[in-house]
Structure 1
Amino acid sequence: MTDIRIALSDKAIAQLPTPEDGWYLARDTELKGFFVVVGKRKRTFTVQGDLRQRGKRASSIRVSIGDASELTTRAARAIAKEYLAQISKGQHPKARENGNSEQAATDGNGAVGAATLEQTWQRYLEAHLIRKGRSEKTISGYRDHVERLFSEWLKTPLLDLANDPARVAKKHDQLTKENGPYIANGSMRTLRAIYNHARKTNRSLPRDNPADAVDWNQEERRNTGMGTGDLKGWFFELANLENPIRREFHLLALLCGSRPTALQQARPEHINFRRRTLHIPKPKGGSKRAFDIPLSRQMILCLIRVLRFGRQMQPSQAQKWLFPAESASGHLAETKEDREVLSKWGNDLRQTFRTIATAAGVSEFDAKLLMNHSIPGVNAGYVTRHKLVEDHLRSQQQAISTVVFSALGESLKEHKALINWLGPGASRSTVTQVRLEPNTLGEGQERTQQVA
């Protein structure tokens, strides 16, 4: 949402709409520099002003006042006036509580040399992660690194860490022993990113990043995908899965190679049966990476089955979500299975998709487009993906699905659980006449649809 200007009051703030993602500012029409940051979960009174040194503008800073649920607008406005007066005199309002001297020069992240990890993390969160539309899962991962693994450093000035790289290296060693090599490396990548971001507006920080002192743990790509010879046994496992909605979820994940979190949040209106696509509005990388998945015949049947199962099992949640569930969100939130029940799920299936794509003769370039990977190289920028979806990429998708189901051989005629799920009779009874709500179809489509 775009920023707005209103006369801030308790009632006006309570009536502000909550953004679907990210955040926006509601600026006060009475007091310049006073506003509320409106996010999905929180509304924060904030001020912004220009710090001046020797009569010249040094930098612009934002200082939070407090949570709008805990502070009245009148009290927040009084604090805002005091903060703005201090800023106009070249003083950071929170310099004392952050342990800075009154004379310390300041920048956008707080006092130079005294901005804490907590302050720079909040700046990175708001200015980089949220503003660029990073997913909730991505943000929660960063938050876990900073607020849990680095909790004892939150009040530590970033400059102290920069001047003591051995301390950072020792922390990495500790995390490796206690949390494992992958989490230790990931947390240090987070620290490195926050430091680099802070240094953009704080040139007093040393050029050398303290995370560079780390002896990185060796990381090996997890190789858990299946080949064509493994698919029959996996299908037998999947056919015996009790929950049919979860069964269709795992099948679709295999057939499209999508990340599980993107499919979990799919909605019925994202399906366009006329164009034979499933729209993914917020994949990894945010809304700017939105794309359409071309649908093979087998994927269409899978979607139709899950629409039917959803309406039968979770009628309320199924109005909003493609894979409904009894969860706080209303959709499948946890898609892990007992490995003894289903041996492969999640990113295992994404790796399998890439492996089967090669067996189907699909080029590496096309496979990356189907999986919404970024394409390296200058020439890739000239490829218009959506122009390929309805013909070329769909034929490649169909080739992959054909190889997957060909691996079943005669099992579709012999294995009882498979016959009941995917056999010819089961398919006809499921898909011959399917009544779909208007918002699940492309504009102008009929409500009753025959799927060939």
Structure 2
Amino acid sequence: MPQQQAIETQSKPASAAGNLRFPLTDRSIAHLPFAERGQYFAFDEKLGGFQVVVGRKRKTFMVRSEIRIAGKRIASARVTIGDCSKITVAKARTIAEGYLSEMRQGRHPRPDAVKRPCAVSDRVEQQQSSDKTAREDAEGPSLREAWERYKAALIKKGRSAGTIAGYEDHVTRVLKIWIDRPLKDLAEDPDLVARKHDAITLASGPYAANGAMRTLRAIYNHAWLKNKKVLSRDNPVDAVDWNKERRRNSGMGVSDLPGWFNELARLENPIRREFHLMEVLSGSRPAALKRARLNHLDLRRRILHIPAPKGGEDRAFDIPLSREMIRSLMRVIRFGRAQHPVEARIWLFPAESKAGHIYTTQEDRADLSKWGNDLRQTYRTIATIAKVNGVDAKLLMNHAIPGVNEGYITREKILEDHLRQQQQAITDVIFAPIRDLREKDGPVATWLRPRSARAQIALAQETRTAHAHLHEVRRRKALQARENNADGQY
């Protein structure tokens, strides 16, 4: 559909070609053909002002809106976000939301990029200083205003889209009753915050209550830095009696692995099967691994780059690949090309979803007993059994390393030799208990034997062909039966 709209748009004059509008996803953008001449625009149906500019050689995310102060139009701004081949739609949309938030507050999101600052940014600055209201001077920002400013700061720091979405959910849903209330009111009545924490605990559980209060605490601290004359230094969240949180110990030991591999081998979807295997072999967080792109894989160096893990782009790192991990990735690439040929051009774990990759990573516990964070805990447990020291395990899992001495470690210098050896040691311990399963006939052997991916793809194609033939036979029989009944009525 987007491709057909794009073709129709290019055939129109430039003045009439601005009506291409649909939900922007990685998949829909991949379908957009490059412009034959000039450029055309694809507007997002979900977020006004967010768009893709398609030229003859590249596709670029962009946001466009008016800068207004007190309802008065000050300027119109169009800001480039980035190349569509380098960032995902989810991340670009998060950045666009931050830029639009800045514009709604009368600020240009990237003043350094304004070509004529005298005509735009100076007028904005003058209008802001002259329209400073008495209410804000007296009461300080509301929770909504403080969140918008904190959100813009998070985007500038490169925080992930998932992290920002989690904070926004706390503000707009959990703390909705306070959304337009001045923070000063909360600071003057900390018991109000403590009672709200208790209420959320009863309604949604202890972890949700603690999470919402941590978000409120961060927003208040950020607002205080800019409103010290109005807001108290004492954070109202300090009045909360925090719920006790316990880390779940759901990792597997060596003796648990054969049963889990048998469950995994029986999963019908081969792409999800390899995804869960990569989880346990790498210890990666599911949210980061499912967004892995084909161009993030470097087989020559035997690494998989994770550009935006938890903590944002500043925490980007490379996963060294063991031999079994490379075999798994080769299988999933073949499966992806067979099942999702369009999405597989971009993603390592493609799927029929709006994003184009695996979206949900959960499984029915009856089908697969351990997944997600269970496998990350398993990885750390097996690393101890493989005698991988604590510092190396943290480096492999991209954990922050405390201490001055450890801070001097340059990860890139030990990635392609020492850390890969440690990765291989962990993989060897994981695969050791299933040696018998790989040699005997069964689901595990069928899955992991050499050239198994080609055999499984061929079998799946034969099955689809047989089902299609059976469907056609049934359709023809039903059609013949209706014709016979019609003839009998006459």
For normalisation by structure 2, the TM-score amounts to 0.71
Sort the Cα spacing of 1:24 and 1:124 in 2 relative to 1 into closer, same or farther, 3 A.
farther
Q: Is the 8 A contact 1:199 1:205 kept in 2?
A: yes
Given the alignment of the two structures, is residue 404 of structure 1 paired with residue 430 of structure 2, yes or no? yes
CA distance in 1, matches of 2:374, 2:51: 45
**Would you say how many aligned residue pairs link Structure 1 and Structure 2?**
378
Q: Which amino acid aligns with 1:160?
A: D
CA distance in 1, matches of 2:326, 2:236: 51
Secondary structure at 1:205 match in 2? coil
The equivalent residue for 2:278 is: 252
5+ residue gaps in structure 1? 1-9, 49-61, 66-76, 96-101, 105-109, 431-452
- C-alpha deviation, 1:285, in angstroms: 1.1
The equivalent residue for 2:377 is: 351
After superposition, what is the alpha-carbon deviation per residue over 1:61-80, rounded to whole angstroms, capped at 9, x for unaligned? Answer: x4379xxxxxxxxxxx99x9
**What percentage of aligned pairs have identical amino acids?**
53
Q: Could you tell me which of 142, 160, 178 is aligned with 1:116?
A: 142
Q: Could you tell me which of 162, 185, 199 is aligned with 2:187?
A: 162
Secondary structure at 2:419 match in 1? helix
**Larger mean Cα displacement after TM superposition, 182-191 or 268-277:** 268-277
Q: Could you tell me which of 195, 200, 219 is aligned with 1:175?
A: 200
Q: Is the 8 A contact 1:369 1:385 kept in 2?
A: yes
CA distance in 2, matches of 1:263, 1:232: 24
The equivalent residue for 2:289 is: 263
Q: Could you tell me which of 149, 152, 158 is aligned with 2:174?
A: 149
The equivalent residue for 1:426 is: 452
Q: Is the 8 A contact 1:225 1:355 kept in 2?
A: yes
Q: Is the 8 A contact 2:67 2:106 kept in 1?
A: no
Q: Is the 8 A contact 1:21 1:133 kept in 2?
A: no
CA distance in 1, matches of 2:53, 2:396: 36
Structure 1 residue ranges, 4+ long, deviating more than 2 angstroms after superposition: 10-28, 31-48, 62-65, 83-89, 110-114, 423-430
For normalisation by structure 1, the TM-score amounts to 0.76
Sort the Cα spacing of 1:253 and 1:20 in 2 relative to 1 into closer, same or farther, 3 A.
farther
Q: Is the 8 A contact 1:268 1:321 kept in 2?
A: yes
Q: Could you tell me which of 207, 220, 224 is aligned with 1:199?
A: 224
Q: Could you tell me which of 106, 112, 137 is aligned with 1:63?
A: 106
Secondary structure at 1:279 match in 2? strand
Sort the Cα spacing of 1:328 and 1:418 in 2 relative to 1 into closer, same or farther, 3 A.
same
CA distance in 2, matches of 1:23, 1:372: 33
The 5 A counterparts of 1:30-109 are 34=75, 36=77, 38=79, 40-41=92-93, 42=96, 44=100, 62-63=105-106, 87-89=128-130, 91-92=131-132, 95=133, 102=134
CA distance in 1, matches of 2:61, 2:287: 16
Sort the Cα spacing of 1:45 and 1:250 in 2 relative to 1 into closer, same or farther, 3 A.
closer
Secondary structure at 1:410 match in 2? helix
The equivalent residue for 2:475 is: none
Q: CA RMSD in A?
A: 3.3
Q: Which amino acid aligns with 1:234?
A: W
Sort the Cα spacing of 1:27 and 1:215 in 2 relative to 1 into closer, same or farther, 3 A.
closer
CA distance in 2, matches of 1:415, 1:405: 17
- C-alpha deviation, 1:22, in angstroms: 11
Sort the Cα spacing of 1:132 and 1:46 in 2 relative to 1 into closer, same or farther, 3 A.
closer
- C-alpha deviation, 1:183, in angstroms: 0.4
The equivalent residue for 1:439 is: none
- C-alpha deviation, 1:139, in angstroms: 0.9
Q: Is the 8 A contact 2:281 2:379 kept in 1?
A: yes
The equivalent residue for 1:140 is: 165
Sort the Cα spacing of 1:17 and 1:202 in 2 relative to 1 into closer, same or farther, 3 A.
farther
- C-alpha deviation, 1:380, in angstroms: 2.0
Bigger fraction of residues in helix: 2
CA distance in 1, matches of 2:236, 2:208: 18
Sort the Cα spacing of 1:288 and 1:85 in 2 relative to 1 into closer, same or farther, 3 A.
closer
Secondary structure at 1:407 match in 2? helix
Q: Which amino acid aligns with 1:219?
A: E
The equivalent residue for 1:51 is: none
5+ residue gaps in structure 2? 1-17, 19-39, 42-48, 82-91, 109-118, 457-490
Sort the Cα spacing of 1:85 and 1:357 in 2 relative to 1 into closer, same or farther, 3 A.
closer
Q: Which amino acid aligns with 2:100?
A: T
